Amino acid sequence: MTAACSKASEHTLVMKNNCCLTGLGYYVPEKIMTNHDFALLMDTSDEWITTRTGIKQRHVCTHQACSDLAYQSSVLALKEASLTPRQLTHVIVATFTPDAFIPNAACLLLEKLGHRNIAALDINTACTGFIYGLELARGLCMLPGEANVLVVASEVLTSRVNFADRVTCVLFGDGAGAAVVSSSCHGAAGMSGRLVDVNLKADGALGELLTLKGGGSAHPLALGDTVTENFFVQMAGREVFKHAVRSMYNVSMEILERNNIRSGDIDLVVPHQANIRIIEALAKKMNLDPANLFVNVQKYGNTSAASVPIALAEAKETGRINPGDLVLLVAFGGGFTWGSALVQY
C-alpha cells in the first residue's frame, strides 16, 4: 500500500467512527410463568427462587420461535431509527436457541421483514451475544458506504431448559431485544447513542461449566434416539456465579480505564440480567451507586443474549437514560464469553 493510500484509509476510519445506536426495541411473549407456578410443578418455592436469584417471574413462548420474537423487537427498533427494513444493510442475530440450524434465524428474520439480498448471519456467544453483535456492527459501520446494521438478540431458552432440573429451569425466560446500529446518528426519531467502545473476551478452557451439547456434531442424535439431560442447558451454578462477577468486573474496569473514565462517571450500568446477587456483587466491586444500576431480572429472568438489549431498551423507554448520559453495558455467558460496551447518549 502506498503512503497516500494508507493516509486516505486512516482518514476514512476516523471520519466514519460515528457508529450510533439509532433505534432500540424489545419484545417478550405474552405468557408469564411466576415462581408460584413453578412451585405447583416441582419442589421449589417463591422464597427460594427470590432470595437466590431475584427472579419473580419470566415470560415464556407457547407457539413463537426465535425469529418471531426477533421480528417483533426489530419492528420497534426500526421505527425508532426512522428506517424501513429495506434500508438495512446487514442483519445479525445473536442466539443459541435459533428456530433451526439451517436456515439461520437471521435469514428467517430477513424474510419476515420483507427484505433480501443483504448479509444475514447468526452468532452464538451465549449471553454475551448482543455485545459481540455490537462490535461486529461497529466494524461494518467503519467500512466505506452507509451502513444500517440490525443487531438482534433473541432467545427461546425455555425450548432448551430441563424442567426436571429445578436448579436451572427456574432461572431462564424468553425474549428479544434489537438495536439499529448506523454509520451516522442522523435521522433517528428518538435519542441516539454513540457506540464509543466495545471490549470482548473469551476463554474456551472454562466451557465445560456451562453447556448445551446434545444434537451438536460431537453429540449427534440418531433417528429414534430419545433426548437426555445434555440436550438441555447444564451448568455448575456456583462456579459460573464466581466467574461471572470476576469477569464482568474486569471487562468493565478495562473499558473504563482505556477511555479515561471513572466508574463514578457512568450514569447507568446495564448488566446482563442473570441473577440479582451477581449484579449486586458486581456493583459492590465497582463501587457503583445502586441508583445507577438498571435491574429488571425480577420480571424476565435470564433471557441470555436478549437480556442486555431488553434492559437497555426498557431503561430508555422508562426515562432512565437522558441526553448526555454515559451508559455501560456488560455481560457474561457460556463459552465462556464476556464483554462490555460504552454508549454515549
Under the binding rule (CB under 6 A), the answer on residue 53 touching ligand COA is: yes
**Footprint of ligand COA on 325-344 (CB under 6 A):** 332-333
Residue of 17, 18, 34, 44 that binds ligand COA (CB under 6 A) = 44
Q: What is the dihedral of CA 9, 11, 13, 18, to 10 degrees?
A: -160
Least Å distance between CB 310 and ligand COA?
A: 15
Q: What are phi and psi of 119, to 5 degrees?
A: -75, 135
* Angstrom distance (rounded) from CA 105 to CA 279: 30
127 catalytic residue (yes or no) = yes
* Angstrom distance (rounded) from CA 6 to CA 50: 57
* Angstrom distance (rounded) from CA 337 to CA 7: 35
302 catalytic residue (yes or no) = yes
**In this chain, which stretch among 45-53, 136-144, 220-228, 248-256 interacts with ligand COA, using CB under 6 A?**
45-53
Under the binding rule (CB under 6 A), the answer on residue 275 touching ligand COA is: yes
**In this chain, which stretch among 70-78, 234-242, 247-255, 260-268 interacts with ligand COA, using CB under 6 A?**
234-242
Would you say 28 and 175 are in contact if contact means Cβ atoms under 8 Å apart?
Answer: yes
Residue of 237, 257, 264, 289 that binds ligand COA (CB under 6 A) = 237
Of 19, 61, 107, 127, which is the active-site residue? 127
Under the binding rule (CB under 6 A), the answer on residue 34 touching ligand COA is: no
* Angstrom distance (rounded) from CA 281 to CA 302: 17
Sole residue written with cell 435470564: 302
Q: Quick check: bond before 85 cis, omega within 30?
A: no
Of 272, 275, 292, 296, which is the active-site residue? 272
Residue of 14, 164, 167, 221 that binds ligand COA (CB under 6 A) = 167
Would you say 161 and 229 are in contact if contact means Cβ atoms under 8 Å apart?
Answer: no
E-strand ranges in the chain read 20-27, 32-34, 57-59, 90-94, 119-123, 148-156, 174-182, 193-202, 210-211, 234-235, 268-271, 326-333, 337-344
Residue of 48, 82, 202, 206 that binds ligand COA (CB under 6 A) = 48
| Concatenated DSSP letters of 119-137 | EEEEE--GGGHHHHHHHHH
* Angstrom distance (rounded) from CA 38 to CA 49: 10
Choose between 170 and 288: whose C-beta lies nearer to ligand COA: 170
Least Å distance between CB 320 and ligand COA?
A: 23
Q: Which residues pair with 126 in a beta bridge?
A: none
Under the binding rule (CB under 6 A), the answer on residue 166 touching ligand COA is: yes
Choose between 112 and 277: whose C-beta lies nearer to ligand COA: 277
Under the binding rule (CB under 6 A), the answer on residue 40 touching ligand COA is: no
Residue of 240, 255, 256, 330 that binds ligand COA (CB under 6 A) = 240
Binding mask 125-164 toward ligand COA (x if CB under 6 A, else -) reads --x-------------------------------------
Least Å distance between CB 253 and ligand COA?
A: 19
Cell numbers at residue 241, please?
Answer: 456465579
296 catalytic residue (yes or no) = no
Amino acid identity of residue 191, one-letter, is M
Least Å distance between CB 237 and ligand COA?
A: 3
What is the CA angle 40-44-45, rounded to 5? 85
The residues of the shown chain that bind ligand COA, judged by CB under 6 A, are 44, 48-49, 52-53, 127, 166-167, 170-171, 235, 237-238, 240-241, 244, 274-275, 302, 332-333
Give catalytic residues, as residue numbers: 127, 272, 302
